[in-house]
Amino acid sequence: MNAIRILLAEDQTLMRQGLKTLLETEPGFHIVGEAEDGKTAVKLALQTKPDIILMDIQMPNLNGVEATAAICRSWPQARVIILTTFDRDDYVFQGVRVGAVGYLLKDVPADQLIETIRRVRAGEVFIQPEIASRTLRAALHSPGDLIEPLSDREREVLVMLAQGIPNKEIAGKLHIAEGTVKNHVTNILDKLQAQNRTQAADIARRRGLI
């Protein structure tokens, strides 16, 4: 099995070095880069395309939420785990909104951090149980999430989108123009208030839409 490639984004040198030391001792983990601010995190993420990005919230030159949003806009497949000392609902809510697929507090035990990295790498969305019950429900089930119901056609597109099928192939399967598919995808993202296709699929699965 290939090593899990990890990018560390943390402005505190001691914390960053500690994480690097911890993770490099774990078999199958490889640190591909270190960033001490948000702009560097974005640059390194897009250059190295790591399997996992561990992202601090409070950083200079773009905070963790802003950096996550920038990364996911340019690279929707990114898998970002926010790792922070802050358990404020708004940070978790914002992080999920912009594309983060994991959220842990920095006082989490080492074995849970390692397990979370492996689970997120495998495709799961993971928010620490101590905070998930209130924040994930608010992020994914608030009344304003679904601005209006999905049409039957949008649901068909959403199912294929969640399977990773590209727009051109969706168009062929549904016998419609590729431009029409793009319009449907835009409407789906708007209605689910998702930042990208990956997040839309995650939200749809959790809400039982597909």
- Residue range(s) occupied by CATH 3.40.50.2300 in the chain: 4-141
> For 58-95, b where at least 16 C-beta lie within 10 A, e where not — what string?
ebeebbbbbbbbbbbeebeebbbbbbbeeeeeebbbbb
Instruction: Provide CATH code, domain 4-141.
Output: 3.40.50.2300
**pLDDT per position as a tens digit, 5-27:** 999 999 999 999 999 999 999 99
CB distance 139 to 92 below 8 Å: yes
Give pTM, 2 decimals.
0.64
Higher pLDDT, 129 or 22: 22
Burial class (CB in 10 A: 0-12, 13-18, 19+), 145: middle
Ranking 4-18, 131-145, 167-181 by mean pLDDT, the lowest is 131-145
Q: Which residues contact 137 (CB under 8 A, 6 or more apart)?
A: none
Helix H or strand E encompassing 196: none
Provide the pLDDT for residue 192.
Answer: 84
Q: In whole numbers, what is the pLDDT of the chain averaged over residues?
A: 86
Average of per-residue pLDDT across 49-69: 93
- Residue range(s) occupied by CATH 1.10.10.10 in the chain: 152-206
As a whole number of angstroms, the distance between CA 207 and CA 69 comes to 22
* Residue 163 Cα to chain centre, angstroms: 17
Average of per-residue pLDDT across 189-200: 84
Q: Is the domain 152-206 a CATH 3.30.1360.150 member?
A: no
